[in-house]
Amino acid sequence: MGNLPRFLESADLRLLLFGGKGGVGKTTCAAAAGVHLAQRSPERRFLLVSVDPAHSLADCLAGSQPPPNLEVLELDAQQGLAEFRRKQGNTLKEIARRGTFLDEEDIARFVDLSLPGLDELIAFLRISDLLMAGSYQTIVVDTAPSGHTLRLLAMPDMMRSWLDALDSLLAKHRYMKRLFRGSYKADDADRFLTDLSQSTNRTQKLLGSPQACFVPVFLAEQLSL
C-alpha cells in the first residue's frame, strides 16, 4: 500500500480526474483507479465516468465485471444538451424576452444554437449535479484529450461570465417591476440563475481543494518528459 500514489490512499477524495493527450492511456488509468477504489472500500459507492466524446471506457472494461459498488457512465453530450434544453429552454427564452428586443423566432434560434464548448458545458453541469447529490464517495473522470479538458476546467469562469450576462438581461425587467409595482418578487428565471451560480461556485471550490485531484497522464518517453 505504501507504493501507491497518494491520490489512491486518500479517504477524503471526492473528484479524481485523469487527463492528457489522446492515446496516452487516460482511460486505462481511470478505469484501474476506479476499480481499485471500489475494491478497497466495498461499503461505499463510486462512479467512473467518461466525458470524452469518443468514448472508450466500455471497451476498456470489456470482458471484466466492475465491482458492484462501482457505477460506470459514458456521458452523451448531445443527449445531455437535449435534456438541458427540455428542462431550461423556456426559462432561457423568458430571460431573452425580458432583456432583448428579439422576436420569438430569433429567440428560438438563440436557444437552439450549438456553440463551441457545449460538450464541456454539459459535462461540467452533469458532474456538478453528481457531486452535489453526494451519492458517491469519489467520482473518477476519464477526460477528453487536452483541449477539451482545459475548457472543462475553465468552465467555472466561463459559467460565471455567462450567468452575469443573463443576469444583466433580467436587470431591466427587475427595475421596471420595482418602478411600477413598488417591489419585485424572484421567479423561476431568478431561481435558475441562483441555483446554477451556487452549483458553479461549489464545484469550483471543490476543484481547488484537497478533495479534488488532477492526474496528468503521459507516455513514458523522453520527449513527453
Task: Give me 87's grid cell.
Answer: 428542462
**Spatial contact of 129 and 19, defined as CB atoms under 8 Å apart:** no
Q: What's the grid cell of residue 64?
A: 471484466
Per-residue confidence (pLDDT) for residue 54, from 0 to 100: 79
Output the pLDDT for position 116: 62
Cβ pair 52, 174 in contact under 8 A: no
Is residue 173 within 8 Å of 94, Cβ to Cβ?
Answer: no
Q: What is the pLDDT, as a whole number, of residue 220?
A: 81
| % of the chain at pLDDT higher than 90 | 37
pLDDT given at position 195: 92
| CB contact burial 194-223 (16+ within 10 A = b; e otherwise) | eebbebbeebbebbeeebbbebebeeeeee
Residue at grid coordinates 450567468: 163
Average pLDDT over residues 171-180: 88
- Dihedral sign, CA of 113, 119, 121, 122? positive
The model scores a pTM over 0.85: no
Q: Are 215 and 149 in contact (CB under 8 A)?
A: no
Triad 68, 25, 225: Cα angle to 5°: 140
**For position 63, what pLDDT does the model report?**
76
- pLDDT confidence of residue 183: 86
What would the pLDDT profile of 63-92 be if each residue is shown by its tens digit?
A: 788 999 999 999 888 888 888 888 888 998
Q: Where are the alpha helices (DSSP H) in the chain?
A: 6-9, 26-40, 57-61, 77-99, 104-112, 118-133, 146-153, 155-181, 188-207
- Note the pLDDT of residue 181: 86
The string of pLDDT tens digits covering residues 83-138 is 888 888 899 889 888 888 888 888 887 777 666 677 788 888 889 999 989 999 99
Question: Which cell goes with 40?
Answer: 478497497
User: For position 114, what pLDDT does the model report?
Assistant: 63
| pLDDT tens, residue by residue, 21-41 | 888 899 999 999 999 999 999
Mean pLDDT of 211-217: 94
**Residue 24 corresponds to which cell in the numbers above?**
496516452
Whether 224 shows a pLDDT value over 80: the answer reads: no
Arithmetic mean of pLDDT, 193-208: 91
Work out the widest C-alpha separation in the chain, in whole angstroms: 69
C-alpha cell at 91: 426559462
